[in-house]
A = this chain, B = another copy of it.
Amino acid sequence: MSEQKVDTRLWSSKARNLSPYVPGEQPQHANLCKLNTNENPFPPSPKVGEAIANVLEQQAYDLRLYPAPESDDLRASLAELYNLDINEVFVGNGSDEVLALVFASFFLKERPVLAPDISYSFYPVYAQTFGVELVQIALEDDFSIDPDAYRQPCSGIIIANPNAPTGLLLSLADIRKLASEHSNSVIVIDEAYIDFACIDETNSSTQVSAVSLINEFDNILVTQTFSKSRSLAGLRVGMAFGNASLIEALTRMKNSFNSYPLDKLAQAGATASVLDNDYFEQTRQQVIDLRKSLTTQLTTLGYQVLPSHANFVFARPKDGNASAVAAKLREQGIIVRHFDKPRIQEYLRITVGTQAQHERLIDALTAMQTYSEDSETISNMG
């Protein structure tokens, strides 16, 4: 429905004033090299499909029954994984739903919520949806987050860590500082990509997640997702970890909106994913390794690549012509994400893919440079 034809006569003013989130496109063409929405190049654990098939075989009759409203088994498995109490764990229909409930539960106050000016573009949308004032704090010139810039009265702070689309990581020391300085505000750390982060790339078990801080700070809430490191974007499961009183607020808000957001199959599949930790560790290390090799290849081509802790890289072609490069890649069926926004319009966000996808991407970028640089063209012909 085109914009000018919409009849909004019967809409609430809230509906009229929305600027909905625009997700990365999901084209369905064959042979596409899809590096635009940060999906995992590897399939989910085979245990996921087995668990769901088992529900279908053993309990198909029970699909007629409502699912467990609080997803108890799934929450128990996550509590065990992170050594938390089950009352410190909340799950929802993707971390997007969890984040929406977070805005309504903690940020709807007199004071504004603070967020980086360059970050997940759904944050300003949630603020609009729930009537929350959002103040954007500028990233530093190197795209890093300076905790001192957040020293102002606020209802809360929300930071994607690693941040998107930059991929940069905020240290636990900085998160502690934010939580200490804002003890009456909820500090939400959106860790959609945290499982790909590591301080020491040779040792992925180094502690980087703020989940390790929630027993120390009652005002830190951590959100995560099954869509990235667990390869289950198609199953819609996200979670939050925090003090039991924060989780209770989210639970009440959920039960005032939609009591059963996770269907039986999603609960079974997600639980199986959590229990198969070997597979999880193996594939996330593979993604980290692939990110490293992609970074090297792009750097060799003259790209400036930010040090990424996510399953994507944020890279600037040496001429800064990111928009043109994205368009040319698209002609060849290679989709990357370009944001036409101040400060980042010269960058491309490229999802870490398979080795084969990287080869196709690098070949295309190499051919582009060969074609555009006369001297190289001549030497290649010579």
Contact = CB atoms under 8 A, between A and B. Distances in A.
A39 interface: yes
- Most chain B beta-carbon neighbours within 10 Å: one of A13, A227, A257: A257
A234 B63 CA distance: 4
B20 A255 contact: yes
B93 A258 contact: yes
Nearest to A48: B63
Contacts of A40: 64
Contact of A64 (B87, B109, B234, B265): B234
B62 A234 contact: yes
A161 interface: no
Given A106-B12, A106-B15, A26 B128 contact: no
A381 interface: no
A235 interface: yes
A309 interface: no
A37 B67 CA distance: 12
Contact of A248 (B6, B184, B236): B6
Contacts of A61: 43
B236 A67 contact: yes
Contacts of A129: 104, 253, 256-257
Contacts of A254: 20
A235 to B, nearest CB: 5
Contact of A260 (B43, B68, B94): B94
A180 interface: no
A138 interface: no
Contacts of A13: 108-109
Contacts of A94: 258, 260
Contacts of A149: none
A259 B63 contact: no
A64 B269 CA distance: 12
B233 A66 contact: yes
A68 B105 contact: no
A277 to B, nearest CB: 18
B43 A63 contact: yes
Q: How many A residues touch the partner, as a band?
A: 35 or more
A23 interface: yes
Contact of A26 (B65, B125, B234, B269): B65
Given A129-B256, A256-B129, A93 B12 contact: no
Given A10-B246, A94-B258, A245-B8, A227 B66 contact: yes
Contacts of A244: 1
B235 A108 contact: no
A371 interface: no
Interface in A93-128: 93-94, 96-97, 100, 104-109, 125-126, 128
Interface string A254-275: 1111111111111001000000
A64 B15 contact: no
30 contacts: A1-B244, A9-B245, A10-B185, A10-B249, A12-B107, A12-B108, A13-B108, A15-B108, A15-B253, A18-B252, A18-B253, A21-B256, A26-B66, A34-B65, A42-B64, A43-B63, A43-B64, A48-B63, A52-B56, A63-B232, A63-B233, A63-B235, A64-B234, A94-B260, A96-B258, A97-B261, A236-B260, A261-B261, A263-B266, A265-B266
